Structure 1
């Protein structure tokens, strides 16, 4: 980590670290809902995200819609397609983040694909994300070997670059990711509960606990928080996962909930759902 300059101390990424620390002090896991920027509309997505913060979310992932979302299941793809059809862009995602961050202190993390970031400009993207209230970035299709330009730009702008680790990841690669995350500011590692795409599932994978323990052997010395995502949807899922991990991500279940709710009720329905999952 860099010397403790005021820029690092006040970096947006430290909000992520503080959110995990707060949850740990309260003897619970951090709840991390995912929302697609621009779904069902730009204005409504902003209202819904603020409602999630009010409902008890600790960290909020903001999806950036993309035309070829390799890691997304059908539910999140559907939300992204609608957002794109309604004109959501990277700049529009920045505006959603700005509006949300003006109304809540809950840390925001962009989750999106690398192509739109390259087109926008890596440096400019990180600068704008930082000034629009974002604390970190999750880029599912960015390989470790190609991550250095974004990692450096993120670090220079006080952002955490967060990596995904699926169960098939070899030990050596987990160690490399842990080292890279530790060299940045704040952040966590996103443990993918199973190989494949996002989506709701009734049962958690049987080897999930063992997988998290395996990752923990590489991250413990750096005190990097571990969050679990893909397939979580019920309070029982959250309680189980956070008994051995530091955080739990809920995504597809929220998209489905929004999709099935009348627009006038979506904000209240999301707030209540987050409250039902929150262990506060």
Structure 2
């Protein structure tokens, strides 16, 4: 990532694997990174929108292996970086090294394991390094300075800044706390920083990039479209429309930052 990017999140298998592949291809036009969530039965960090998407995918019998297959198909047409997002239980059950190898073979560039604390991630990080798999860790506005530095060093792709306290979900506005956090991270961190949780409009993206973020992560706003329009042409049009709005906002924010 040289210029700021849009990181677009989808839940794999929502509402079906073929639709996910079409959605990925549609968002690819405006996305610098695609984050593909592996459905999980207890997604504690996610709000109702993404939880419901996980339920829809799992209710259709979706399995982890299918996420790898979707990514393999996407890789036939695109080299856009893909980060797989999951929770530790499915990784542990499959075996950390086995999971990382499977993800790498499918074409993943990195992994986010939302509920794996940094202090307990030594083995996971070593395995990722061994197989050249990127890592992404998360930091919140109340993350202490020293931990922020360590999280930055541990994140080989980018550090995921949680914009606020709580769970995922679209919001109307952001508090000053979010902008202060970006500025603090920009000063403290050496790697890329991307901001997620609550971003749903071009104006959001513009303001966060202007403050110094290297990317914005958008999930619930895209998943809401999929919930409302399902596997349809209308969904593809709405996804592309929002992705363009966000991309334009990123560009405006970058221009303001560099004036």
Q: Does 1:104 align with 2:72?
A: no
Whole-Å Cα distance in 2 between the matches of residues 253 and 146 of structure 1? 32
Q: What does 1:93-242 correspond to in 2, within 5 Å?
A: 93-181=67-155, 186-220=156-190, 224-242=191-209
Q: CA RMSD in A?
A: 1.3
Which residue of structure 2 lines up, in the alignment, with residue 8 of structure 1? Answer: none
Q: Normalised by the size of structure 1, how large is the TM-score?
A: 0.85
Query: CA, structure 1 residues 123+80, in 2 after alignment: closer, same or farther (shift >3 Å)?
Result: same
| Segments ≥4 residues shifted beyond 3 Å | none
| Pick aligned residue for 1:254 from 190, 214, 222 | 222
Whole-Å Cα distance in 2 between the matches of residues 158 and 168 of structure 1? 31
Compute the displacement of 1:204 (Å).
Answer: 1.3
Compute the displacement of 1:272 (Å).
Answer: 2.4
Question: How many equivalent residue pairs?
Answer: 247
Compute the displacement of 1:179 (Å).
Answer: 2.8
Whole-Å Cα distance in 2 between the matches of residues 132 and 262 of structure 1? 25
Q: Deviations over 1:147-204 (max 9, x none)?
A: 11111111111111100101111112112212333xxxx4110000001100000001
Q: Please say if residues 15 and 230 of structure 2, whose CA atoms lie closer than 8 Å, have aligned partners that are also in contact.
A: no
Which residue of structure 1 lines up, in the alignment, with residue 255 of structure 2? Answer: none
User: Structure 2 regions of 5+ residues with no counterpart?
Assistant: 252-259
Which residue of structure 1 lines up, in the alignment, with residue 7 of structure 2? Answer: 32
Which residue of structure 1 lines up, in the alignment, with residue 34 of structure 2? Answer: 60
Q: What does 1:81-100 correspond to in 2, within 5 Å?
A: 81-100=55-74
| Pick aligned residue for 1:49 from 24, 42, 49 | 24
Which residue of structure 2 lines up, in the alignment, with residue 245 of structure 1? Answer: 213
Q: Does 1:276 align with 2:248?
A: no
Query: CA, structure 1 residues 196+228, in 2 after alignment: closer, same or farther (shift >3 Å)?
Result: same
Q: Please say if residues 136 and 154 of structure 2, whose CA atoms lie closer than 8 Å, have aligned partners that are also in contact.
A: no
Compute the displacement of 1:231 (Å).
Answer: 0.1
Which SS does the other structure have where 1:72 is aligned?
Answer: coil
Whole-Å Cα distance in 1 between the matches of residues 59 and 230 of structure 2? 20
Whole-Å Cα distance in 2 between the matches of residues 99 and 141 of structure 1? 28
Whole-Å Cα distance in 2 between the matches of residues 240 and 116 of structure 1? 36
User: Structure 1 regions of 5+ residues with no counterpart?
Assistant: 1-19
Q: Please say if residues 138 and 151 of structure 2, whose CA atoms lie closer than 8 Å, have aligned partners that are also in contact.
A: no
Which residue of structure 1 lines up, in the alignment, with residue 256 of structure 2? Answer: none
Compute the displacement of 1:82 (Å).
Answer: 0.7
Whole-Å Cα distance in 2 between the matches of residues 179 and 202 of structure 1? 32
Whole-Å Cα distance in 1 between the matches of residues 149 and 232 of structure 2? 47
Q: Deviations over 1:125-164 (max 9, x none)?
A: 1111111110001111000111111111111111111001
Q: Normalised by the size of structure 2, how large is the TM-score?
A: 0.92
